[in-house]
Amino acid sequence: MNFKKICVIGLGYIGLPTASTFAARGVKVLGVDNNPRIVETLSKGEIHIHEPGLRDIVKAALASGNFSVSTKPEEADAFLIAVPTPFQENKFGEYNGVTYKLADMRAVISAAESITPFLRKGNLVVLESTSPPRTTMDLVAPILARSGLQAGRDFHLAYSPERVLPGQILRELIENARVIGGVTPESAQAGHDLYKIFVKGEIVKTDATTAEMVKLMENTYRDVNIAIANEFSRLADKFGVDVWEAISIANLHPRVKILSPGPGVGGHCISVDPWFFVETAPELTPLIYHARKVNDAQPHFVVELVQRALGSLKNKKIAALGLAYKPDVDDLRESPANEVALLLQEEGAQVKAWEPFKPDANLPGIDMASSLEDAIKDADAIILLVKHTEFINFKPEEIVKKTKARVAIDTVNGWNDEAWKNAGFELFRLGVNKSQIGNQ
Ligand code: SAJ
């Protein structure tokens, strides 16, 4: 198939990089977002999200005339849907006493509805949003059928998940392998032809439901593996073992690769996607469900560690370093660090948070510091919640001059015991219970 013009619905973390990458390859791209503020920001050449290199490629795409933005779709050769699929806020599912979260598919529904009037014979529609299994067949195809055209017969329909890592989106978009699941083999081939325009990684063709399941399997696999690492951190704490040492030794085994424990699992993917399996098959997913529960409970384990370090938290001043959901990104969605800060406050602590990637973040109930110095100056303890490179590079002998705190708490294995001890701090580390160590 030949693609002269494509329409990308949803200009967020995935839609915007995808749209501008296509435009950079000479395809005419109309980027569509139903939020007029986003469209206005982009038309001024500004961008509303932080991702290395994105500003430049968007600017170049707009300047080339290949990329334009609007709140409404137009006729095109292909339509890509890259809209969010978060949880429903107030509705939960229940199975055998187990409560689970439900996907909010409203954005996918309205994106498909917005395309329907512009759909023509021979077009290709691709859903990229992470979705519960069978969404392409059972939700999207029937909506598009309201055009009078049938998926697989009159137009091509496929599911192709994004698999890029925030912070490296532009590179991974091009280099990663891509899966295209068509509602027919011809639809998969049409999707292949489209992404071939910029994808250098392998493009694998399959059916739509397999592609949906592959996406959820990848993130669920990671979630379950992080859950076992987090559970190991609790066991190590109980048995007086340094979990980080134990993991590094276990990982010398050629078939073992234990991930890192931490304050929990955040972001809009790994902490969300496993629920799409639970929602659609609660009777088949006890492991996936419990892994989610383990990871969601990890912030409570961090609070216990802080209590061990400080005793009662009432009126204790705590400097929380990092609020992002993972290192070196500005994304605060579903962040376990945020959860830890709120839980510490529930215990009576006064938390001041410093997030260098988003210093002016406005999070309910969180007191943001204006600088590192402001956060740590009067603190009783400093807690490291995100492994940002600049935090890891701290020189404790410099930090000690800027703070009253003599207690440091490391939830991500970012700081060196000796260095912090030599500078005059007592260092507490997640997964290491000093009172138990040597007590074996
Ligand atoms: N985390 C740990 N321990 C680890 C690794 C991660 O606690 O050993 C935590 C992180 O701190 C973070 C969370 O898990 O809070 C998720 O971080 P991540 O780097 O594992 O993943 P994401 O959410 O940024 O991106 C994932 C990726 N999926 C996989 O690696 C299977 C990415 O390739 C997907 O494109 C993305 O989800 C997505 O959009 O679905």
Closest atom of ligand 1 relative to the 295 alpha carbon: 7
438 has pLDDT over 60:
no
CA distance 342 to 338: 6
pLDDT mean over 17-22: 97
Distance 152 CA to ligand 1 centre (A): 34
Q: Which of 137-141, 270-274, 319-323, 329-333 has the lowest mean pLDDT?
A: 329-333
Q: Which of 105-109, 151-155, 164-168, 433-437 has the lowest mean pLDDT?
A: 433-437
The percentage of residues in the chain with a pLDDT greater than 90, rounded to a whole number, is: 91
- pLDDT by residue (tens digit) across 207-224? 999 999 999 999 999 999
- Is any ligand 1 atom within 6 A of the Cβ of residue 322? no
CB 338 within 8 A of CB 323: yes
> Would you place residue 436 in the very low, low, confident or very high pLDDT band (cuts 50, 70, 90)?
low
State the number of CA atoms in the 13 A half-sphere of 425 facing the CB.
31
State the number of CA atoms in the 13 A half-sphere of 209 facing the CB.
7
Amino acid at 219: N
Q: Which residues contact 288 (CB under 8 A, 6 or more apart)?
A: 220, 223, 224, 274, 277, 278
- Is any ligand 1 atom within 6 A of the Cβ of residue 267? yes
- Nearest residue to 275 via CA among 261, 295, 299, 260: 295
- Is any ligand 1 atom within 6 A of the Cβ of residue 326? yes
Q: How far lies 325's CA from each of 83, 190, 321, in Å?
A: 20, 36, 12
Quote the pLDDT of residue 434. Answer: 74
- Is any ligand 1 atom within 6 A of the Cβ of residue 15? no
- Is any ligand 1 atom within 6 A of the Cβ of residue 302? no
pLDDT mean over 367-383: 97
pLDDT mean over 360-384: 96
State the number of CA atoms in the 13 A half-sphere of 326 facing the CB.
12
- Using most ligand atoms within 8 A of CB, pick from 258, 273, 326 the residue to mutate for ligand 1: 326
1 has pLDDT over 60:
yes
- Using most ligand atoms within 8 A of CB, pick from 165, 294, 335 the residue to mutate for ligand 1: 165
CA distance 270 to 430: 21
Closest atom of ligand 1 relative to the 386 alpha carbon: 11
Q: Which of 28, 205, 215, 326 is catalytic?
A: 215
Residue 7 is a catalytic residue: no
Distance 270 CA to ligand 1 centre (A): 6
CB 385 within 8 A of CB 322: yes
Task: Encode 12-52 in three state secondary structure.
Answer: CCCHHHHHHHHHHCCCEEEEECCCHHHHHHHHCCCCCCCCC
Closest atom of ligand 1 relative to the 326 alpha carbon: 11
Say whether 103 sits in a helix, a strand or coil.
strand
Average pLDDT, the chain: 95
Closest atom of ligand 1 relative to the 266 alpha carbon: 15
Quote the pLDDT of residue 118. Answer: 98
- Is any ligand 1 atom within 6 A of the Cβ of residue 222? yes
